[in-house]
Amino acid sequence: MKLFFAPEFSSLADHIALLETETAFEIAEVDLESKRLGDGSNYLEVNPKGLVPALLFDDGAVLTENVAILAWSADRASHLMPPGELGRYRLLEMLSFIASEIHKRFPIYFSLPEDAREAIGDDIVRWFGFLGPRLDYGYLFGEAFSAADAYLFVMARGALAMELPLGEPYPDYVARIEARPAVQAALRRERAPGKAQ
């Protein structure tokens, strides 16, 4: 199995979740501008959308999109799934919310001239604020880390790096998740020269 990623992009969430499952997999870096892989091959042959992430299975099947890969990971590691009868659906609900209300606003923000970014930045901050009270017990679904937290972590980390005023509890939330062994391992792998498999 191989995860196609761009360093510290949204695919970092999938990298973290896959490491949390303790499933063996390789990684391959994608140059998002050229759509080329490190060996010079064309990434569009793996994922015609040209976006990351993509998960290539040993049988040749390919799964794309953060929501799908994170849900697949949670299906393989029960600790990544919220508890209860509706746990799987609560996870899908949260992953979809993060994808549609937070993640998709970042490319819009960066596509605008600097003097036109304030409104979309305010919108990003508003949706983070909407989720903030859910973190009172540590994570999105209480005291346990989930696949949705991997996704929100990556988004919040990026927003804080952009100096968006997320306020509490996000700096502590990001720091707490960044200390997790799987997160540290994913960051090391994505920063390693040649992206060692």
Q: Quick check: 132 pLDDT over 60?
A: yes
- Residue 196: pLDDT band (50, 70, 90) is very low
Q: Quick check: 195 pLDDT over 50?
A: no
- Residue 192: pLDDT band (50, 70, 90) is confident
pLDDT digits (tens, 9 = 90+) for 26-55: 999 999 999 999 999 999 999 999 999 999
Report all structural domains of the chain as residue ranges with CATH numbers, in order of start. 2-76+182-191 (3.40.30.10), 82-180 (1.20.1050.10)
Neighbour tally for 85: CB within 10 Å = 7
